[in-house]
Structure 1
Amino acid sequence: ALEDIKFGYCTEFIIMVEQEYNLGTEIDFKKYLETIGDSIVVVSDEDIVKVHVHTNDPGLAIQKALTYGSLTNMKIDNMREEHNEMVIKDAEKAAMEASAHKEKPVEQKPRKKAGFIAVSMGQGLGEIFTGLGVDYLIEGGQTMNPSTEDMLNAISEVNADTIFILPNNKNIILAAEQAKQLTKDKNIIVVPSKNVPQGITAVINFVYDKGPEENAERMTGEMNRVKSGQVTYAIRDTCIDGKEIKQGNIMGLGDKTILSVGDDVKGTTTSLVKSLVDDESELISLYYGEEITEEEANEIGDELTSLYPDLDVEVHYGGQPIYYYLLSVE
């Protein structure tokens, strides 16, 4: 009910730490947030701190956070307005159902041992995850930056004792961890996938008759063996890792650095794959984006098959924006 909302603003942001920030600092910060709100989650990872708090004065939380560094990914939602909108929508829905004499009960899916939530972008990648048994997809879009609230909504939709979350982006792992801390009635395990190919490998290696912790260890281990790459374009002139990059250049990104730069997508993609393949490689997987045709993707697949006749080469439609190709070598 509206009167039950004690603190009206759901406030989230990331602190890019610029001052000293240690365990003692974090404890003090949490104590301060407790004086101005509730539903507090503070998760730190090296020089990044993800913050979630319900408060009546978001400015106080922001001012305090600014003493530790600069802020990014700020999101403030008026929960009282959202509640009113939800009440109106529920009333409209009930009226429509009543007028149409819809009395069919909503079927609740039976509770199961394990469920999956994955962050994805693009129709093709979504279909791949769904085909592998993922229960709920959070559409990441171009930014791949869903909030903790998005995670909590997804968790509420999956009726399972244990829910594995695949963030599929290093910037979303903290939001998933926050959602885990805020969930009390289900066992939440965050499998820290940093990109889509890692997430696909993780869910493929899930074994239903194994326990949650054993599965988490297995999925994480197999996922970390995957070498991943992304092919995109430069939005401005820059110099990274000694490589001169001009606006509009095609870039092949590895897990930690830029591995190839060129003027055309095909050449840059092939060069990227060459830098990832080694003597232990067995499989190359290509997921082509919304700007690539099936014919173009298959051309690269055929070339890679010629270059590496002993390796399996798979080409899949991903439909993702921004990235011409997502790829993995394992």
Structure 2
Amino acid sequence: MKYQTINGHDFYNMVVNASNRLLEESEYVNALNVFPVPDGDTGTNMSATFKSAVKEIEGLNSSSIGETSKKLAKGALMGARGNSGVILSQILRGISKGLEGKEAVDAVELAIAFKEGSTAAYKAVMRPTEGTILSVIRAAAEAAIETDKKDIVELMDVIVTEAKVMLDKTPELLPALKKAKVVDSGGMGLYIILNGMYDALKNDIKAEIKDIKPSEAKMQGAQGTEDIDIKFGYCTEFIILADASKAEKFRDDIIPMGDSQVVVGYEDVIKVHIHTNDPGAVLAKAVQLGELSKIKIDNMREEHREVLLSKEEYKLKDQNVEAAVEVEEAKKYAFVAVAMGDGITNIFKDLGVDYVIEGGQTMNPSTQDIMECIANLNAENIFVLPNNKNIIMSANQAAEISDKNVIVIPTTSIPQGITCVTMFNPENEVAENEEALKEAMEMVKTGSVTYAVRDTEMDGIEIKEGNMLGLVEGKIKKVGESHCKVAEEVLEEMIDEDSELITIFYGSDISEEEAESFTEKLEEKYPDLDVQCYEGAQPLYYFLLSVE
């Protein structure tokens, strides 16, 4: 067919068909992950983002391409997951800007809209990297502007052709792609979208949205469930103004006094968190080390009863029964963190994080997921800890959209996030805390142990499917057969003469006995370092490791 112009109905069929195609190919796009680790999620993220976009226009039935594209962009913006999803949402946002207020567009106007999409995508990335989805949209947009095609089917043919040419060039632009013998996964996702749009127009496809259920990120409040058994009733937090070298012995001394102990020393300060039934005994032992500051004791049983009462009040409200619910005054600070694994989630909750979003590798929360947490918080200032480099852009996008004061601390790992929470000072002003948390995250070296999902070679290291992989700051440094041995080698790479603390979070595939044995071995190997071990229960990663 030939199209001199396209309207809202045509554009609807184009993007819905594109969404369906991307859904069908999402696992293939995931498999293009450069690293041979089991967390390639570009296809999942882009498909979930685009599905959120087309869901926004479902049932719209508008002939206006401007109206359709505007709603599409809004859906993508709120549903954006991962860096690839955020960039895709910005492409759609730019295209929407180019189509704004138009009932129908011709080839020239559509080409300009694609150019707007490319421009918006580049602006969204602080340091644009060629050889990625950015290169693909730029090449496609430039070809659209330069061609003299008047028929929009022919224009889309040019766009798709040039997108494929650039996609095939991505390994030449990014050495990591060339070594892995793959094209850029984000670029492939975009190519599939463009091809789906082209096919819908060329073959006059009347597309229907295919129903999928992408993994939903779960928002968890800091309070427990109705059947919770609170063994230790007082959440006790304070600071000891004392030499940080005394932190390890103090932690050992208070172990019998409760659970959820977190004792972190830094220079002349020791920060303490514990759940206990006798806060006085803990404080009495602490004051022997030095002066106490910022003491905070909460009765968790009382808070839990209030939560259950609040739930009952909301049930009554749903049944149209009047219930007087007192509106609390906004607190100064609140925290939102992203975490994967029940153990790690509980640690964040114990440290006072208000909402923990279940997510991380393979399950990046969307902008909407983060926005919902922010909206539910009655606080003047809200800190967000993404704890994963692929979630930072979604968090930043949520912060930009929100009408609240949201500060994103760009943590790229769970240990960084936990360190930030422990070093937070509620008495400081916002700017002071932001600076302090960014400095705190830089003190943390992060490592991890997972397994290889395919044979490959990275930086001269030969990797076989099933090998244990040791990563330091996201880069593969060690390969072996034993996860404990590889973890030990990773720590050797991270520890230096300034190191004081090793923290281990063991995953769902590691038993408590194995974790304890590994910890004891490290304590013998590094007698001058404090070694802490926590159940993280995270999937895919046998160990998350940090050195401070």
- Partner of 2:540, secondary structure, is coil
Alignment partner, residue 89 of structure 1:
none
User: What is the rounded CA distance, in whole Å, between the counterparts of 2:475 and 2:324 in structure 1?
Assistant: 53
Flag the structure with larger Rg: 2
Structure 1 residues 34, 312: closer, same or farther in 2, change over 3 A? same
Q: 1:256 deviation in Å?
A: 4.2
Quick one: percent identity of the two aligned structures?
A: 40
Alignment partner, residue 287 of structure 2:
none
User: What is the rounded CA distance, in whole Å, between the counterparts of 2:83 and 2:492 in structure 1?
Assistant: 37
User: What is the rounded CA distance, in whole Å, between the counterparts of 2:83 and 2:346 in structure 1?
Assistant: 34
Aligned residues of 1:122 and 1:141 also touching (Cα < 8 A): no
Structure 1 residues 309, 179: closer, same or farther in 2, change over 3 A? same
User: What is the rounded CA distance, in whole Å, between the counterparts of 1:126 and 1:71 in structure 2?
Assistant: 34
Q: 1:144 deviation in Å?
A: 3.7
Structure 1 residues 295, 152: closer, same or farther in 2, change over 3 A? same
Count of residue pairs brought into register by the alignment: 288
Aligned residues of 2:83 and 2:391 also touching (Cα < 8 A): no
CA deviation map 1:89-116 (0-9, x unaligned): xxxxx9x857967543455554111110
Pairing 1:1-330 to 2, within 5 Å after superposition:
7-9=70-72, 10-12=75-77, 32-36=95-99, 43-46=124-127, 47=129, 70=187, 72=189, 97=316, 103-106=322-325, 108-140=327-359, 142-184=361-403, 186-330=404-548
Structure 2, unaligned stretches of length 5 or more?
1-55, 61-66, 102-119, 135-155, 168-186, 194-208, 210-312
User: What is the rounded CA distance, in whole Å, between the counterparts of 1:15 and 1:177 in structure 2?
Assistant: 11
Question: TM-score scaled to structure 1, two decimals?
Answer: 0.77
CA deviation map 1:280-316 (0-9, x unaligned): 0000000011111111111110011001001000000
Q: 1:191 deviation in Å?
A: 0.1
User: What is the rounded CA distance, in whole Å, between the counterparts of 2:453 and 2:92 in structure 1?
Assistant: 37
User: What is the rounded CA distance, in whole Å, between the counterparts of 1:29 and 1:141 in structure 2?
Assistant: 25
Higher strand share: 1
User: What is the rounded CA distance, in whole Å, between the counterparts of 1:108 and 1:253 in structure 2?
Assistant: 47
Q: 1:45 deviation in Å?
A: 3.5
User: What is the rounded CA distance, in whole Å, between the counterparts of 1:31 and 1:248 in structure 2?
Assistant: 43
User: What is the rounded CA distance, in whole Å, between the counterparts of 1:306 and 1:202 in structure 2?
Assistant: 28
Paired residue type of 1:117: V
Structure 1 residues 210, 183: closer, same or farther in 2, change over 3 A? same
Q: 1:34 deviation in Å?
A: 2.1
- Partner of 1:228, secondary structure, is strand
Paired residue type of 2:499: S
Q: 1:222 deviation in Å?
A: 1.2
Q: 1:213 deviation in Å?
A: 1.2
Aligned residues of 1:142 and 1:321 also touching (Cα < 8 A): no
- Partner of 1:11, secondary structure, is helix
CA deviation map 1:267-289 (0-9, x unaligned): 11111111111000000000011
Paired residue type of 2:490: L
Higher helix share: 2
User: What is the rounded CA distance, in whole Å, between the counterparts of 2:525 and 2:388 in structure 1?
Assistant: 30
Structure 1 residues 29, 318: closer, same or farther in 2, change over 3 A? closer
Q: Give the alignment's Cα RMSD to 1 decimal.
A: 3.6
Aligned residues of 2:76 and 2:92 also touching (Cα < 8 A): no
User: What is the rounded CA distance, in whole Å, between the counterparts of 1:248 and 1:112 in structure 2?
Assistant: 49
- Partner of 1:253, secondary structure, is strand
Aligned residues of 1:206 and 1:219 also touching (Cα < 8 A): yes
Q: 1:8 deviation in Å?
A: 4.0
